[in-house]
Each structure stands twice: as structure tokens, then as C-alpha cells.
Amino acid sequence: MLISKVRRTIKKYRMLEQGDSVVVGVSGGPDSVFLLHALKELREDFNLTLIVAHLDHCIRGVESKMECRFVEDLANRLNLPFEAKSVDVPALKKSEGISTQQAARDARYEFFMDTLKNFNAQKVALGHNADDQAETVLMRLIRGAGTKGLCGIPPIRDGIFIRPLIETRRFEIEGFLRENSIESVIDSSNREDVYSRNKVRNSLIPILIKEYNPGIVQTLIHTSQVLRKEDEFLDKLVLDIFSKICVSEEKGSLTMDILHLKDLEESMQVRVLRKAVESFSGDLKRISFKHLESIIGILSNGGANKSLNLPGGIIVEKRYNELIIRREIKETLFYYSFSEIPHCVRLKEIGKEVDFKVIPQEEHLNLNVDPNVAFMDYGQIKFPIVIRNFREGDRFQPMGMEGTKKLKDFFIDNKIPKSIRREIPLLLFDNLIAWVMGLRIDNRVMVRECPAEILQVRIF
């Protein structure tokens, strides 16, 4: 019995827990209608609460409205709660600059997640079947994908999205609906060879079945299952390696040790880098195998500093022996000027504050406590006091040197990445750079032989 097959799939992948509330995505097509009936039949087995959810993509006009009404009537007949929403996918496609299919997918998943939260549900059930799996694997093979891509559609994703029909064939579903006189609607766009999936489904697979392998669909399904098992093993291995290579993981950046990363085989490098990008950005949207290969390219090429732009405003930057993944930062210039010593200055552009304190000679000081605190001869102050960004051509006399040095060369010598140099504030007395904050004071303002007063400046 087909319902029993669905039950086995659910148990095999541990898709449901006792007492789960499940949002069922129902388009009105055969797959989603069968999914809803199957879960209703299995409701007592798992003590489920079901919520029917339908999204109108506003692509096919009156036909879309009719499908929404059909799903609502179905939910009412089954005495189940119904949630619906309309999203103008063509407008979303235009505003986001993405394909119709991607815009529709993004809208669906956002709607399902909102419905999940509104009903305090635990799972979202989707109607992808085994033939969808085969088509996905074949499409990815044609486009070019690694083993992870050829795993196809995951039976369960993020512990939330479940696909109970992923091992059920399309002909089985359609046969069940006919035998039980259960109605569904057919999306007219599925018959049009406009989208790649439709071309694969309606044209390529029939040719492969007829001329090459009558069991091609089952072969592709089996291939995805084998690769998924291997992929799950490798993912566990990658997690262990990634935890050792990742130096730091903060909100704005992720840093990895390049030397350890380069010690890995290239195939494992790709997987670790994929994990790093996913860990940083939360997903791998628009990140292809070619992007990962490009990252490996900047690892192996010479030069201390290299950078690479990835989709979604992600920057991958090689800084000496570190590989940093971060968001693209728009350069922000700042300039503050004071005709007298301020008490505290907030540098809102970089989220820092600077405070000033005048200290008499007799007060005991430890002048080498903290790199973020500088002590300078009060007698060397010339107004205005200025706090600003680095500018090309800036020079100063680093403490301990007799001549001046280009600030750019100072940054290079101290391995300060180019991307953050303009975020380092400079303290100037008139036109003299008195302190490269957090790094070095100017030799001409340093404290010598007990001056009458000392200026303490702290950045935090």
C-alpha cells in the first residue's frame, strides 16, 4: 500500500516526532494533494496536527486564483486549517534581478516559515517525489556539479522541511489518486518547455528511457542515495577539520588558518571552504563550484594580500597566513576637529569612542599598559586637535625613529590589511600625526623627562 511506503520513508529519515504540528504545502497538483491525504491517513500514527498552506504566485492570473480556491475547498472538506497568501513573483523577480523560479522558491519558503511561526508548528511538509529527485540530479549533472550537488534534493533540511514522498514515484501517486477518485489540478505551465526542468522532464528523460536506459529514473535516484551516504560521512569529517582550521568566527567575519588549509587535499579544501561560506552567510545561494575553485586559486597564488568578490556582497580576502570571509564594507570617511581638548568623542562611523584626560606630572603612571592608550607630552599639543581617516601621502615619525615614514609603508610593514586601513583613526595635533591609534605614537610627542602635564588618550 502506498501510504505504508510513505510511512516507511518518514520513519527511515526520522522526519516526524510524536505530536508534531505540520504545515503542508499544497499547490493543488497531484503530488501535494496526495501528500496531504497521506499525512491525514498517518495523522493518528504520529499524533499530528496539520495546517494546509497555499501560495498564489500571481503568475497565471485566473488559473492561479482557481487553484487557491481548490486548495481552500480541499482543506475545508478535510476539516483542516487553511492559510493562503499572494505574492507578485514577477515583480519580485524584477526587483531582485533573479529568475522566475528562484523568485517563486524564495517567496514559497518565506511564506512557509511565516506560517510555521504563526501556528507554532515544527515541520513543513513538501511534495517533492522520486521523479523530481531524478530530474534534479540530471539537471545538475548537465550544468556541472560536484558530489554534493548530485546528492539531489535532501529528504529533510534544517530539521524543518521534510519530503515524505521523496522515495515515491510519480506514476504511483497518479495511480493512487485515480483509484481513490481524488481530484487535483494540473499546472498548465508544467506542459510548456519554457523552464529547464520541464525540458528535462518532457523531452530528455523520455529519450533516455527509450534509447539508452529504460530504468534511468531509478538509476538516477539510486545514484543520489549512494552519493548522499558518502556525503554525510564526509560532512562529519569536514566539521572536525573546520573546527581546527577556523581561527575565529564573529558576526562580521570568519577567519581561517591558510597553512592548515593548504595542507588538505584539494577536494577536501573545497568542502571546508563550502562549509566556511555556509557558516558565515547562512546559506550557499548563488555560490557555485567555480567560486570555490577561485578561492583555492588565491590560496595557491603568490602575494601576501589577495581578495575575491563572491555573490551576495561576500568578500574572501587572503591576508598573509589568514583567509578572511567578510561582508563588503562601504568605505566611510570621518573627520572631527576641536579647538580645545574634548572630553569624549564618539566615532559613530566605526563604532569607537575616544576619551581625553590631562594628567599632572606628579601622578604615577605606567606608560606601557595598553596599546589602546597613548600618553603624550601636553606641551606638544597644537590646535586644532583632529581625528580622521588615513589619507594617501600621510607621513609620521614612528616612536624610536629619527626620520619620517609614509604611513602606507608603516601599515605594510606591520601587515595591516589594505581593507581596514581607513578604519584606523589618526589623532593629529594641527597637521602632525600624533598617534596612529592602537598602533604607534609619533616620536615628537612622546613623553620625555617628566613634562609638566601629560595627555592621556584612550580608544575603546
Residues 182, 53, single domain; the answer is: yes
Point out the domain boundary residue: 327, 354, 371: 327
What does pLDDT average to over the chain? 89
> Going edge to edge, which strands form the sheet with 385-388?
335-338, 385-388, 426-429, 432-436, 440-441
Residues 321, 346, single domain; the answer is: no
Residues 323, 386, single domain; the answer is: no
Reported as a pLDDT band with limits 50, 70 and 90, residue 287 is confident
Point out the domain boundary residue: 310, 327, 344: 327
Residues 47, 30, single domain; the answer is: yes
Number of structural domains found in the chain = 3
Report whether pLDDT(364) > 80: no
Residues 283, 402, single domain; the answer is: no
CATH number at residue 380: 3.50.40.10
How far is it, in rounded angstroms, from Cα 77 to Cα 300? 63
Q: Which of 4-13, 246-255, 296-305, 363-372 has the lowest mean pLDDT?
A: 363-372
**Interval 185-193 mean pLDDT:** 68
Residue 98 has a CB neighbour count (10 Å cut-off) of: 16
Residues 96, 176, single domain; the answer is: yes
Reported as a pLDDT band with limits 50, 70 and 90, residue 282 is confident
The pLDDT, as a whole number, for residue 322 is: 87
The pLDDT, as a whole number, for residue 124 is: 97
CATH number at residue 258: 3.30.465.60
Residue 220 lies in a domain: no
CATH number at residue 124: 3.40.50.620
How far is it, in rounded angstroms, from Cα 408 to Cα 422? 11
Q: What percent of the chain clears pLDDT 70, i.e. is strictly above it?
A: 95
Residue 202 lies in a domain: no
Supply the range of the domain harboring residue 445. 335-459
Residues 189, 316, single domain; the answer is: no
The pLDDT, as a whole number, for residue 237 is: 93
Residue 451 lies in a domain: yes
* Nearest alpha carbon to residue 111 among 96, 89, 91, 132: 89
The pLDDT, as a whole number, for residue 64 is: 82
Which helix or strand (DSSP H or E) is residue 276 part of? helix 266-281
Residue 340 lies in a domain: yes
Spatial contact of 439 and 424, defined as CB atoms under 8 Å apart = yes
